[in-house]
Amino acid sequence: MGKQLIQTHRFPNGLTLVTESMLDVQSAAFSILVPAGSIYDPADRRGTASILSDLISRGAGPYNSEQLSCALDDLGVQRHEGVSSGHITFSGATLADNLAETLKLYALILRAPHLPENQFDASRAGVAQSLLSVEDDARQKALVELKRHAFPAPWGLPSDGELDHLALITIEDVQQHYQTSFHPDDTIIGVAGNIDFEQVKQQIEEIFGDWQPSEGREEPALDFETEKQFFTEQETTQTHLGIAYDAVPYGHPDYYAAWAAVGILSGGMSARLFTEVREKRGLCYTVSASLTGMPGLGRVLCYAGTTSERAQETLDVTLQELTRLGEGIEESELERCKARAKSSLIMSQESTSSRAASIARDWFYLKHITTLDQINEEIQQLTTERVLGYIHAHPAANFTVLTIGPQPLEVPSDIS
């Protein structure tokens, strides 16, 4: 992969800077993770973090909302703000020469947002519209609902919030969420691109050094779902299927074996689900599985969209393929996973945005950065025995199954 120049620094107030210098690019990208995600929403006000993530860029420091947007556009910043379960994330990319000015603006957004009361209704209406859009998109809804049922609350709950909670949320709730969550401790700033570590570190010290740490807060308790099967009747052309089962989380010693197991199922067009469900039987256009997680818990999430008349067969075949993995895997299947890993790791070095997000995420989960060489080595050392050993220790079983469509399906009792 070539040597990566990764450096990290933890400031006295708890803020962590992680950087990767990429000297053959012109750009620089950043990813700022503030521990203010939807898991910290009050239980009856799901959507508070989502409204905050919209309201927070509507004016900061000396700038009103429009001036702030213009200032960022003038710096050529391609940006995104969003809320996940754990974080409100601010990410962006621009020419490396503009990074310092850009970070100054983000320091204002993080530390001196106006959170204007007269724009609160607009922010809340925006969140409501995006929740309604999910209702209209059965595929997206299937994935949102699958996550809800596959992970314990509040981690599995939709990070955008719940429609029927929005009316209860007030500007005071949002301000309170900001006060409690926006602090340097546990905030991570990832920067990647044509940058000098010392310069960035010094600038972060200047703009965030006197930011006061929090007094600490309790992490929300986890609430595990006991139901395993869900059906939502909706007038759709296709039936949308979601299937979930347990896996290991990121950072677990067996994580890469788990990654390979899912890769054999769904990594590339020669993988089993695509071959068996789509290519050999023509049952659907989209079928996939992915490994996803939260701190300490991992899950495999599968999706298939299929014509309603053939939905039962699609469900049966998909479940069979998931369980068949335990019967054995081919050397060549693992080799293809290794090739895809190597190529995608090398190609990730062509994207500053991808590197910035990756190192910030790594720090959140591991409190250290795994280099591309280390990841590649872990993957290249996998053997079929080891992957199969993982599959036997963590079999595809105890499925959560969800369907959206005109009719419910039958989940075979010997399999669930």
Partner 1 sequence: MIFHEAKLDNGLQIIAELNPNAHSLALGYFVRTGSRDETAEVSGVSHFLEHMAFKGNEKYTADDVNRIFDEIGANYNASTSEEITLFYGSFLPEYIDTAMELLSTLIYPTLRQEDFDMEKKVILEEIGMYDDLHSFTAYEKVMQAHFQGHPLGQSILGSVQSITDLTSEQMRDYHAKHYLAGNLTLAIAGNADWIKVLELADKFCKHWPAGKTDRPTDEAQPKTGTQTIIEKKTQQQHIMQLGPAPAAQDLLRLPAEILAVVIGDDSNSRMYWKLVDPGLAESAEIGFNEYDGSGTWLTYLCSDPELTESNLQLIQEIFNEVNQNGITQEELDRAKNKLASRLVLRSERPMGRLSSLGGNWVYRQKYYSVEDDLELLNNISLDDIQTLLKKYPLGHSTTAAVGPMTSVVD
Map the footprint of partner 1 across residues 92-131, applying CB under 8 A: 93-95, 119, 121-126, 128-130
Q: Which stretch binds partner 1 (CB under 8 A): 41-49, 216-224, 232-240, 385-393?
A: 232-240
Contact in structure between 267 and 291 (CB atoms under 8 Å): no
Footprint of partner 1 on 272-291 (CB under 8 A):
274-275, 278-286
Footprint of partner 1 on 241-260 (CB under 8 A):
none
- With binding defined as CB under 8 A, does residue 269 bind partner 1? yes
Least distance to partner 1, CB of residue 304, Å? 10
Q: Which stretch binds partner 1 (CB under 8 A): 23-31, 42-50, 224-232, 251-259?
A: 23-31
Dihedral sign computed on CA atoms, order 75, 80, 81, 84: negative
Name the residue nearer to partner 1 (CB basis): 39 or 93.
93
Residues 6 or more apart in contact with residue 223 via CB below 8 angstroms = 152, 153, 154
Least distance to partner 1, CB of residue 285, Å? 4
Q: Which stretch binds partner 1 (CB under 8 A): 22-30, 31-39, 175-183, 184-192?
A: 22-30
Written in H, E and C, the secondary structure of 159-189 is CCCCHHHHHHCCHHHHHHHHHHHCCCCCCEE
Least distance to partner 1, CB of residue 311, Å? 11
Q: Which stretch binds partner 1 (CB under 8 A): 37-45, 73-81, 218-226, 363-371?
A: 73-81
Footprint of partner 1 on 168-227 (CB under 8 A):
none
Footprint of partner 1 on 347-406 (CB under 8 A):
347, 349-352
Least distance to partner 1, CB of residue 396, Å? 21
Contact code string over 32-51 relative to partner 1, x by CB under 8 A: --------------------
Name the residue nearer to partner 1 (CB basis): 304 or 359.
304
Least distance to partner 1, CB of residue 280, Å? 8
Q: How many residues bind partner 1 (CB under 8 A)?
A: 76
Footprint of partner 1 on 303-342 (CB under 8 A):
305-307, 332, 335-336, 339-342
Name the residue nearer to partner 1 (CB basis): 252 or 340.
340
Dist. CA 62–CA 60, nearest whole Å = 6
Least distance to partner 1, CB of residue 207, Å? 22
